[in-house]
Structure 1
Amino acid sequence: MNGDWLLRGRDGRLSVYQLSGDAVLCRAERGPGGPWSAPRRMGGEQKLHPVLAIGQGADRYAHLVSWRPTVKGESGLVHSTHFRPHLAALDWQPIGHPDKTGERTGTPAVTVDAQGRAHVFVRNKGGGVSMLGQKEKGGWGPWRDLGGGEVHDRLAAVTAASGTVELYAAVPDGLLYWRQESPGAVPVLQETLRTPVRPGTLRALATSPDSTTVFYTDTDDTLCAWRPGGKPATLLPAAGPGPVSAVRCDLDGHDCTLLAQRTASRRVAFAAYPTEQEPAGAWWAESGPELPLDALVSLATDETDRVVAATLSPSTGQLLLTRRKDEPGLALEAWRPS
C-alpha cells in the first residue's frame, strides 16, 4: 500500500484500509476509542489488482486508488471516495491509464488539495510521471505528462499547508521534486537532488506553513530528511526496510515529528524530534511484540490529538494498536488486538 492506511475520519473515528485478494477492506471504530467493526469490502464488487494508494484531504474524506484488470494483458486505474468510516464507500470509478491503454505501469500515489480535489500520480511507460486531477465542479481533467525519467516505483505525494500539491520521486542518482505554483495548476518539476536513495523508501509530510519534508533511506541504510531548497540531513540509521510512517504531533508542548518503522527484528521502532530541527538528533525505541514478516506500520492522531500507532499483517489480518499514554514523554499503552 502507498500512503497512510490508518486514518481519522470526519467523525473522529479511526479506520484502517487493507488489501485482501482482489478487494480493499476497511475496518473502523464503532465510536471514538471504542470497539472495531468487522472488515467491509470497499467500492462494490469490482475485482482489483493487489495495489492501493490512499490519500486524505482536510475534509478527512479518504480517496482510494487502485488498478483493475480490463481486457487481457491490460489494466486501468480506478478511484473511490470514502466519506465517513461507518458509511459505504462510493463504487470504484474508472479513471483511465497514463498511456491510454496498457498494463500496470507502477504503484499510484494520491493526495488531496485544499479544495478537496484528488490528484493521482503514477509512473508511465516512458519512465516519467503522469498526473490526473479532479475538477473543482466534478469529474476529472486530462492526463498530464509531468516529465522525469527512469523514475522508480513508490512515489510520495503530499499536500502542503498552503493546500497545493507536491510530489517526490526517486531516480537512479537522486530525487525529483514537483510542485503546483498555484491551486489547481499542473505541478512543475522544480528541483533535482543528487543523493543516493533506496527505491521504495520515500514518505513525505507537511512540516511547516512553507515546507514539506521527504524522508528516505540512502544506500548506507541511513534515514535522511530533505526539504527542497536546502541540503539533505541525516537523522539516524534506518530501523528496517521500507518507508517510515510519519506524523506531526504535540509532545509536552513541543511541535514534534514522530517516525515509526518496522525493525529488522520485526518489532516497531519509534523516534521523535522537534519538527524541521534534524540537527537536534533522534534515536529509536522499540515497542510491541514480534510481528509477521509482512506487517505494515502506520501513525495517526485520534479525536483528542493523541498519537495512535497501528500494525497490520495482510496475510493474517492481524491488527494491533497502541496509543500514547496521558503522561509526559512518549510512553505508549500496551499493544492490543482490534
Structure 2
Amino acid sequence: MNGDWLLRGRDGRLSVYQLSGDAVLCRAERGPHGPWSAPRKVGGEQRLHTVLAVGQGSDGYAHLVSWRPTAKGESGLVHSTHFRPHLAALDWHPIGHPDKKGDRTGTPAVAVDAQGRAHVFVRNKSGSVSMLAQKEKGGWDPWRDLKGKEVHDGLAAVTGESGRVELYAAVPQGLLYWRQDEPGAQPVLKEALKAPVRPGTLRALATSPGRTTVFYTGTSGDLCAWRPGGEPVTLLPAAGPGPVSAVRCDLDGHDCTLLVQRTESRRVAFAAYPTEQESAGAWWTESGPELPLDALVSLTTDEEDRVVAATLSPSAGRLLLTRRKDEPGLALEAWREV
C-alpha cells in the first residue's frame, strides 16, 4: 500500500481501501459516523497483484493504481477512479508499462493535480522514475522518463497547495525531489539531498502554500523532516517500521501536523507539532490495543474536521477506528471495530 488508504470523500463519508488476495476491497460509511458497509470489490473482476497506490484530488475523487498479470512473467499497470465511497468505482483500465512490457518494476505512487488529473509514478527497469499523466479531457499522455539513478522502491507523490504535483524518492545517497514548474508540465528534478535514508519510509505532505514536507526515517532510526531548499530536521526517534501517516489539522486554534505510526510494540503512536515548526519538538503518545504484525495505520479528518485514525489488518480483516473528542488537546475516543 502506497498513500493514504483512509479517505474522506466528496460527500463527507469516510472510506478505506484494502488488499485482499488478487482484489482491492472498499468499505465506506453509510452516514456520518457510520454504520459502515461490508467490504466490496473495486473495479470489477480484474485479477491484481497484491499492490495498491491511492491518491485523492481536491474534488474528493480517489484514484487507485495497481499491477495486473498480463502474460507469464509480465504485468501491466491499471487505474480506477472512485467518485463516491458508496458508489461502485470505475472498472480497472489498463495504462501500460513504463518499459512498454515486462514484469513489475516497483510500487506505484499517485498524486492528483488541481485539474483532477492523476499522475502515476513508478520506478522503471533502469532504476529511474517514469510518469504517466491523465489528459484533462480524457485519455493519457505518453510515458515520460523523469530520470534519476538507483531509485529505491517506495516513492512519495504529493500535490502542493498550488495544485502542482511533486515527487520524492530515496536513492543510496539520500533523496531526490521533482516538481512541476506549471500545471500540466512534466515534473523536473530540482534538488538532491545527501542524507542517510531508510528506503520505504517516505511520506509527503503539503504544509504551506509554496512548500511540501517529506518525512523519512534515517539509518540511525530517527524520524526526519525535509523541505526542499533547506536542511533536514530530526524530529524524534521513529516509533516503528515503515512510513508515518500525516495530516494537517486544527488543534486548539493552531495549525498542526499530526503524525501516526505503528510502534515496535505493535500499538499506535501519535505525535503533533505546529506545522513547519519542527524546532518546537514532538513526542509520541501510544494508543489503542496491540495490533497484528501486518497492521497498517492511516489518518484523515472527517466532515467536521475532526481527526480520524484507523488501523487495518489484512490478515485478520479487522478495521479499528478512533476520532478526536470534542474537547481541548488531542483526546481520542475509545478505539472501536467497524
Give 2:46's aligned amino acid.
Q
Residue 128 of structure 1 corresponds to 128
Q: Give the deviation of 1:316 after TM superposition.
A: 0.9
Whether 2:60 is the aligned partner of 1:51: answer no
CA offset digits 1:85-126 (Å, max 9, x no partner): 000000000000000000000000001000000000000000
Q: Give the deviation of 1:244 after TM superposition.
A: 0.2
Residue 163 of structure 1 corresponds to 163
CA offset digits 1:137-187 (Å, max 9, x no partner): 110000000000100001000000000000000000100000000000000
TM-score by length of 2: 1.00
Give distance in 1, aligned partners of 2:110 and 2:52.
10
Residue 278 of structure 1 corresponds to 278
Residue 15 of structure 2 corresponds to 15
Q: Give the deviation of 1:32 after TM superposition.
A: 1.4
After TM superposition, list the pairs within 5 Å mapping 1:34-183 onto structure 2: 34-183=34-183
Give distance in 2, aligned partners of 1:204 and 1:58.
16
Whether 2:254 is the aligned partner of 1:254: answer yes
Give distance in 2, aligned partners of 1:288 and 1:46.
36
Q: Please give the secondary structure, in 2, of the residue aligned with 1:207.
A: strand
Q: Give the deviation of 1:10 after TM superposition.
A: 0.6
Identical-pair percentage? 86
Give 1:120's aligned amino acid.
V
Give distance in 1, aligned partners of 2:67 and 2:317.
22
Q: Give the deviation of 1:34 after TM superposition.
A: 1.7
Give 1:27's aligned amino acid.
R
Give 1:85's aligned amino acid.
P
Residue 296 of structure 2 corresponds to 296
CA offset digits 1:161-214 (Å, max 9, x no partner): 000000000000100000000000000000000000000000000000010000
Q: Please give the secondary structure, in 1, of the residue aligned with 2:71.
A: coil
Give distance in 2, aligned partners of 1:11 and 1:98.
34
Give distance in 2, aligned partners of 1:85 and 1:32.
13
After TM superposition, list the pairs within 5 Å mapping 1:163-242 onto structure 2: 163-242=163-242
CA offset digits 1:25-69 (Å, max 9, x no partner): 000001011210000000000000000000000000000000000
Q: Please give the secondary structure, in 2, of the residue aligned with 1:48.
A: coil
CA RMSD of aligned residues (A): 0.3
Give distance in 2, aligned partners of 1:316 and 1:78.
27
Give distance in 1, aligned partners of 2:118 and 2:174.
27
Q: Please give the secondary structure, in 2, of the residue aligned with 1:279.
A: helix
CA offset digits 1:64-88 (Å, max 9, x no partner): 0000000111000000000000000
Q: Give the deviation of 1:216 after TM superposition.
A: 0.1
Give distance in 1, aligned partners of 2:157 and 2:109.
6
CA offset digits 1:302-326 (Å, max 9, x no partner): 0000000000001111000000000
Q: Please give the secondary structure, in 1, of the residue aligned with 2:94.
A: strand
Structure 1 residue runs of 5 or longer lacking an equivalent are: none
Residue 324 of structure 2 corresponds to 324
CA offset digits 1:214-265 (Å, max 9, x no partner): 0000000000000000000000000000000000000000000000000000
Q: Please give the secondary structure, in 1, of the residue aligned with 2:229.
A: coil
Q: Give the deviation of 1:335 after TM superposition.
A: 0.1
Q: Please give the secondary structure, in 2, of the residue aligned with 1:145.
A: strand
Give distance in 2, aligned partners of 1:314 and 1:60.
25
Residue 269 of structure 1 corresponds to 269
Give distance in 1, aligned partners of 2:297 and 2:306.
17
Give distance in 1, aligned partners of 2:9 and 2:301.
11
The 4+ residue runs of structure 1 with deviation greater than 6 A are none
Give distance in 2, aligned partners of 1:173 and 1:268.
31
Q: Please give the secondary structure, in 2, of the residue aligned with 1:70.
A: strand
Whether 2:315 is the aligned partner of 1:315: answer yes
Give 1:179's aligned amino acid.
R
Give distance in 2, aligned partners of 1:102 and 1:231.
38
Residue 244 of structure 2 corresponds to 244
Number of positions where the alignment pairs a residue of Structure 1 with one of Structure 2: 338
Give 2:7's aligned amino acid.
L
Give distance in 1, aligned partners of 2:300 and 2:127.
33
